[in-house]
Structure 1
Amino acid sequence: MSAGKLNRIRNSGRTILALACLGCLLLALSACSDETEKPEVEPYPPPNPLLYEIANSNGEVEGWMLGTIHALPDGVVWRTPEIDHVASDADILVVEVASLRRSDALRQIFLELSQTGDLPPISERVSVEYRPDLETMLERSDLSRNRLRNTEDWGAAIMLAQVDAPGRPRNGVDRALIADFDGRDVRGLETARGQLGVFDTLAAQDQRDLLEGTIAEWAASRDDPERLLRAWLSGNAQVLERATTEGIMADSELHAALLVDRNNRWMDELLPILEAEPKPFIAVGAAHLFGPEGLTVMLEDAGYTLERLPAS
């Protein structure tokens, strides 16, 4: 990895992965110990996540879209009166993966896709400069070298991304909304296998970049592990959008695979849903909303008007 790319990675936080994807992947794994000492963090701001009303060219409301995060610490209040109002009024819920409550099945898919025999030890798969931090991460987790030995680089990266992670997937926003819509229609934009397959089909160098980037971001974010979490909670669009172009997401191949390509596929599903009679509540990782190929711009290009709704 080049020095320039390494510097960009160190300017980001691991939370970007929880804003981009991993709803099913995080739920399938349990990689870090709850006993590790956590750094002190700032108080959480009042909740105001990015929530948009979607109207057609005639000004008629066709649905709503919420930028989510797939893992949160215990006790974080993220619901607002407006989110609850939309969740009550919407006819259907559209999420990345609809089967988040099937954790055993998700774990099995992860193991099936991520395991390969005869891999080198994990420490030999990263450059020398990352090895001291990797050792510290392993010491602070319940991960063993044997557990990682047969895990491909992308899988090891996601397992390591949970070391000292500020959030728990059981508190993920999409998971909570799926429970809210129990008895109503819940649709997924992709399957668990499809989401994990995004990582499994990455080129070998991109997988290594993801692994090394995860280690570098862990080291860089230890002083303020909840920076992006607080930005998500307060709806700080500037900080969140910048995070989609820094760190791991500064890698053009990873940015395309994790965000742009998936957004393009999702639009093929979202447009017919918005054109139909039932009004959808679209809840996807907040990182998917930003940039010229983000869902907000793509929906506007398709003729819709998006208006951010206040917290109450």
Structure 2
Amino acid sequence: MKNLFLNCALTTVALALSAIGTPMATPALAQQAPTAAVETVDVDPALWVVKDADTTVYLFGTVHILKPGMGWFDEAVKDAFDKSDRLVLEMVEPDAATTQQLFAKYGLDTSGKPLTSKMTEDEKAIYAKAMEKVGLPVAAFEPLDPWAAAVTMQIMGLQKGGYDVNSGVETQLTAAAKASGKPIAGVETMESQLAIFDTLSQETQVRFLVESAKTVDDMTASMDNMVALWAKPDPDGLAQVMNEGLSDPKLHAALLTNRNANWAAWISKQLEKPGTTFMAVGAGHLSGSTSVPHLLTAYGIQAQRVEY
């Protein structure tokens, strides 16, 4: 479960946790100090295209959180974006008040049951050790549901390793779309994405949290490996790593398979409408045997890799 960030709603969760404005959330997502200028490294992530006589849909795999200095928004990616009439993301960010309401609904335990009361003594020890490593007291996440604590811990671990949500692909694409006047739409909503986590059983959520705690030390190295596969690009290698990281079948279905099927159906409907769309979703959704490009074949649609 440590390889969550290429396929889940990381941006959603990060926004929600930062917007809630409570003591247990703000240390994790405090405003990062401005980063020193870094040399830009040219990378060429995978890009696909689906088209018919009057419709084109570009499919671009994103990473929701990156280190500064990744030069991906150029060449074929920038060309496809510039040709597109609109940008479609996993979700469009709502206003701060809505974000706070949604996080309170889905990320906080409304029963008042403390987080640590849901763990065994062994699990508490693993969790306590991880919290010490990220610099927070054990009590900091007590009001959170286990999934929210797990994702916050992962974000904190990656921030310590130099990753920044503001350097993520969606953030940059959104800014570019606004600057050029392109409409922005989402195939999901913040509420639907947070609900994915909230509907997981408590057992699955706790297991997710404990696995995150166990891997807090090597989180940055794991993410570095996935980003390298994304940047190369090596979609097959990325799919293999993703499958290893999402070994829990319920999480795999909730975060990948079910959503991929919905998005493949959405794309098939878009081909009935003229125009050009730049669709950007987590790179994990575009890799492997249950990926969006693979599922499109059931509709008689072939996604082609754009070579560049």
Establish whether TM, by shorter chain, passes 0.5.
yes
On the 8 A contact 1:92/1:184 being kept in 2, the answer is: yes
- AA partner of residue 154 (structure 1): W
- Aligned residues of 1:20 and 1:286 also touching (Cα < 8 A): no
For residues 5-154 of structure 1, the aligned pairs below 5 Å read: 14-30=2-18, 31=28, 46-56=42-52, 62-99=56-93, 102-103=95-96, 105-116=98-109, 117-122=111-116, 124-141=117-134, 143-154=136-147
Structure 1-normalised TM-score?
Answer: 0.82
Q: Distance in 1 between matches of 2:215 and 2:271?
A: 38
Per the alignment, do residues 172 and 222 of structure 1 end up closer, same or farther by CA in structure 2, a change over 3 Å counting?
A: closer
1:160 maps to which of 148, 153, 162: 153
Aligned to 2:57, the other structure's residue is in SS state strand
> Cα distance, 1:193 vs. partner?
0.6
Amino acid at match of 2:171: R
Cα displacement (A) at 1:255:
0.2
- In structure 1, runs of 5+ residues without a counterpart are 1-8, 36-42
Taking the aligned partners of 1:15 and 1:145, their CA distance within structure 2 comes to 24
Provide the C-alpha distance between the structure 1 equivalents of 2:136 and 2:102, rounded to a whole number of angstroms. Answer: 19
| Correspondence for 1:235 among 229, 233, 236 | 233
Q: Which amino acid aligns with 2:113?
A: L
Tell me how large the CA RMSD over aligned residues is: 2.7
Letter in 1 for 2:66: L
Displacement of 1:162: 1.2
Hey, what's the Cα distance between the residues in 2 that align with 1:173 and 1:223?
20
Per-residue deviation, 1:229:
1.7
Q: Percent identity?
A: 24
Task: Please list, as runs of the form range in 1=range in 2, the aligned pairs for 1:218-229 lying within 5 A after superposition.
Answer: 218-221=216-219, 225-229=223-227
CA distance in 2, matches of 1:92, 1:33: 32
Cα distance 1:184–1:33, how it changes in 2: closer, same or farther (>3 A)? closer
Post-superposition offset of 1:216: 2.5
Structure 1 stretch 225-234 or stretch 191-200: which is displaced more?
225-234
Task: Check the 8 A contact 2:84/2:278 in 1, yes or no.
Answer: yes
Number of aligned positions between the proteins:
288
- State the shift of 1:279 in Å: 1.2
Residue 305 of structure 1 and its aligned partner are, at CA, apart by 2.2
Q: Unpaired runs of 5+ in structure 2?
A: 19-27, 33-38
Aligned residue in 1 for 2:165: 169
CA contact (8 A) 2:11 2:165 kept: yes
Matched, 1:198 2:196: yes
Q: What's the counterpart of residue 212 of structure 1?
A: 210
Residue identity matched to 1:78: W
CA deviation after TM superposition for structure 1 residue 44, in Å: 8.8
Normalization by structure 2: what TM-score?
Answer: 0.83
Structure 1: distance between partners of 2:97 and 2:298: 40
Distance across 2 between alignment mates of 1:287 and 1:107: 28
Give 1:74 deviation, angstroms. 2.1
What secondary structure, in the 3-state scheme, does the structure 1 residue paired with 2:155 have? Answer: coil
Alignment partners' CA distance in 1, 2:42 and 2:195: 36
Tell me whether 1:181 sits opposite 2:190 in the alignment.
no
Contact map agreement 2:92 2:186 (CA 8 A) in 1? yes
- Deviation at 1:273? 1.6
CA deviation vs aligned residue, 1:125-175 (integer Å, no higher than 9, x gap): 445555455334322435443331111111111111112214221121112
Q: Which runs of 4+ in 1 moved over 6 A?
A: none
1:104 and 1:15, CA in 2 relative to 1: closer, same or farther beyond 3 A? farther
Q: Distance in 1 between matches of 2:195 and 2:273?
A: 30
Give, in angstroms, the shift of residue 304 of structure 1. Answer: 2.0
Q: Is the 8 A contact 2:55 2:273 kept in 1?
A: no
Aligned-partner SS, 2:243: coil
In 2, are the aligned partners of 1:23 and 1:70 still within 8 Å (CA)?
yes
Give the superposition deviation at 1:71: 0.7
